[in-house]
Chain A
């Protein structure tokens, strides 16, 4: 209530700010998001894949209906439309469509039973492979099996619900812009958690309003922009960069000082790898300052010492003054 009144009282300041962040709708966006069209990658399977993209790369497709003896135009189901550009930017860009999908799909019309084909999961390719050992897929899998998401596996939850096989790309490991990385990661969660159409495929629960649920969080917008959902909702893990052990909501971090403190948990999560680099300007958890600022976590050691010295001098001066007042009466 207090923060609401404060917000109204100084609303004009916000109005001047032109705040560029919005958390409404199903996805967070930054208005100045890069819309570059800089795909230089040329897949060895480009031509092969184009046979699929010819129909699945847009919302409309055409085919010759031999029974009718003419060309027919039809709408493509949104779930099976793949954005070419996003695919060729993603981790699996070097794949042929038929690496993962049945060769039978090269025939048109597609056989009906192909819809029932079993899709691969991450571990089918990445499990036990030395080439991918640095990603610790085995730990990721074991974390997932202990996470609250695993309970939904019977409902059809898979790795792909978070990591779209066509579009997923390594994010925080490679991204030097932390805010972009946070945005990308949080949109993974929001795909279901702020989109009830998607959410109801996996859960019987009623729609959850993320903004309302986090109303207790001061400076909500700033938190959503600067930290990932998993900072509070996942278990800290030392061996993998991004924890996959999503906790039940009751176990979510709610104590501010878990992050807002000298031994901030952000240093073991969001800034885990960055934290190995030290700064020498006296700021605790100084690496956070490269991208952000966290009250309570970023005190400056030198200013602390200086302030204590000034207080000590003050106490000595006042103490001496009191002494002389008492003795020189």
Chain B
């Protein structure tokens, strides 16, 4: 089943690479000490790469949102009100119990339903809440002169930074879960292969 058109795969590839660069350089800046290298990148280089990758990620994000607005891919990111919680519970139960008992996947992938209910909610939060907040707060840190100096007596920059690192942390957790759940296809590598070829191999996680 051809599920991932070229533009999605390209966006996903760039997004993945840039997010990894941003996480590594972000942690390098946050946990820097007097030694030159924390993790793999020194502070000065981390700042430069982080800024550069962040701008590319912003452009890539605009590309993603525009693509979702102009193509049918946007429909996968629309929450349906009916049975949302019970569907998510079903999916959760499947991950925690059913899959070990050989039960059928409660929400098999079709052209109409690319994401299972848990996937859909987490993707919506990641792509339409966390990432925009990371981008906006990141711009506030990139241009500290535009950030409000004091908010109720607290530095506007520290609040912006806390929002930035909290959302970035959430995205890092999301990334780990995302990569792990992508090993739950028919074979551990089949979902990764699908994202490269565009064709989904049936019996997914």
Contact = CB atoms under 8 A, between A and B. Distances in A.
Interface of A: 2-3, 5-6, 9-10, 13-14, 16-17, 19, 21, 218-219, 221-222, 255-258, 260-263, 283, 289-293, 295-296, 298-300, 303, 307, 310-311, 314, 318, 321, 324-325, 328
A133 to B, nearest CB: 34
15 contacts: A6-B52, A10-B143, A17-B146, A218-B47, A255-B36, A257-B34, A257-B43, A260-B29, A261-B32, A263-B34, A289-B158, A293-B157, A293-B158, A299-B31, A303-B165
Contacts of B142: 6, 10
Given A219-B144, A260-B43, A289-B155, A299 B139 contact: no
B158 A6 contact: no
Contacts of A219: 144
Given A10-B143, A325-B100, A260 B32 contact: yes
A5 B157 CA distance: 23
Contact of A17 (B35, B100, B145): B145
A290 B154 CA distance: 7
B155 A261 contact: no
Interface string B46-68: 01100110010000000000000
Interface residues of B, number: 40
A14 B145 CA distance: 8
Contacts of B111: none
Interface stretch (B12-20, B72-80, B126-134, B169-177): B169-177
Interface of B: 29-36, 42-44, 47-48, 51-52, 55, 95, 99-101, 139, 141-146, 154-155, 157-158, 161-162, 165-166, 169, 173, 176-177, 180
Nearest to B170: A310
Contact of A14 (B32, B34, B143, B176): B143
The 8 closest A-B pairs by CB, nearest first: A293-B157, A256-B43, A328-B100, A17-B146, A296-B32, A257-B43, A257-B32, A293-B158
Given A9-B55, A13-B139, 16 more contacts: A6-B51, A10-B139, A10-B142, A255-B43, A257-B43, A260-B29, A261-B34, A262-B33, A292-B155, A295-B161, A296-B43, A298-B161, A303-B162, A321-B180, A328-B100, A328-B101
Contacts of B34: 257-258, 261, 263
Contact of B33 (A21, A257, A318): A257
B176 A2 contact: no
Contact of A2 (B36, B52, B162, B166): B52
Contact of B29 (A16, A262, A289, A296): A296
Contacts of A218: 44, 47-48, 51
A321 B181 CA distance: 10
A314 B176 contact: yes
